[in-house]
A = this chain, B = another copy of it.
Amino acid sequence: MSQEPDLKREAILTAAFAQFSQYGFRRTSMEDIAKATGISRASLYTRFENKEEIFRSACFDINEQSLREVEQVLKGVGGSSTIAARIEDALRVHYGRFLEIAHSPHGSEIYDENNRLCGALVLDSATRLHELLTKAIRAGDRAGEINLKASGLSAGAVAELIQQGAAGLKQGAPDVATFDKRLSGFMRIFFSGLSQK
């Protein structure tokens, strides 16, 4: 039996994040969020302390959701058979989502608030992604799909390079389609290098 999800809570966070994306954090009032959710402003306070907590919670959920998907994809649930393809799919899922947010009307304000209010959360998310990637790379090494030894680097160091390299591609991409295409080329070459005997 699964925990019953708090639907009202999710409705609030979804509506709130839509407002934040469209009008920015500062220009979105609790009244706006309440109206967008279809409840009264006072009701918001029964579930959340204040606007900052709503923002934090929304970011938290988005991160959790993304990391859960990444974990599933890395497990091979998506159907990709090679470790390279699974990691590529995972990064596509993770960074593609954030690329969309960054390109929303007030993407840069969202980004700033995210760092201000969720600094620890951001770091934690990056750390967990790094752990997942490291695990996947180690698995790929054991399976003989890549050759860590020959690369002269640890699984963690390789994960770092992939993670930061992909982040760079995200930064430079004007849209998701371009990012996807570049990520694909990047992964092909990088994993070709990693599979050298």
- Set B158, B168, B169, B185: member contacting A189, Cβ < 8 A: B158
Residue ID in chain B nearest A173 by CB atoms: B164
- Set B161, B168, B188, B190: member contacting A171, Cβ < 8 A: B168
Within 8 A of B (CB), among A144-179: 151-153, 157-158, 160-161, 163-169, 171-172
Count of identical protomers in the assembly: 2
- Which B residues are CB-close (under 8 A) to A23? none
A151–B153 CA distance with the chains assembled, in angstroms: 23
Q: Binding site of A, secondary structure by majority: helix, strand, loop or mixed?
A: helix
Q: Do A171 and B167 form a contact, CB below 8 Å, given A190-B190, A193-B189?
A: yes
A86–B74 CA distance with the chains assembled, in angstroms: 35
A196 interfacial contact with B, CB 8 Å: yes
Q: Do A186 and B168 form a contact, CB below 8 Å, given A193-B191, A193-B192, A193-B194?
A: no
A182 interfacial contact with B, CB 8 Å: yes
Q: Do A153 and B196 form a contact, CB below 8 Å, given A164-B169, A164-B171, A169-B168?
A: no
Residue ID in chain B nearest A168 by CB atoms: B168
CB pair A182 B168 closer than 8 Å: no
CB pair B167 A172 closer than 8 Å: yes
Can you list 17 contacts pairing A with B, beta carbon distance less than 8 Å?
A: A151-B185, A153-B189, A158-B185, A160-B182, A161-B185, A161-B186, A164-B165, A164-B168, A164-B169, A164-B171, A164-B172, A164-B182, A165-B165, A168-B168, A190-B190, A190-B193, A193-B193
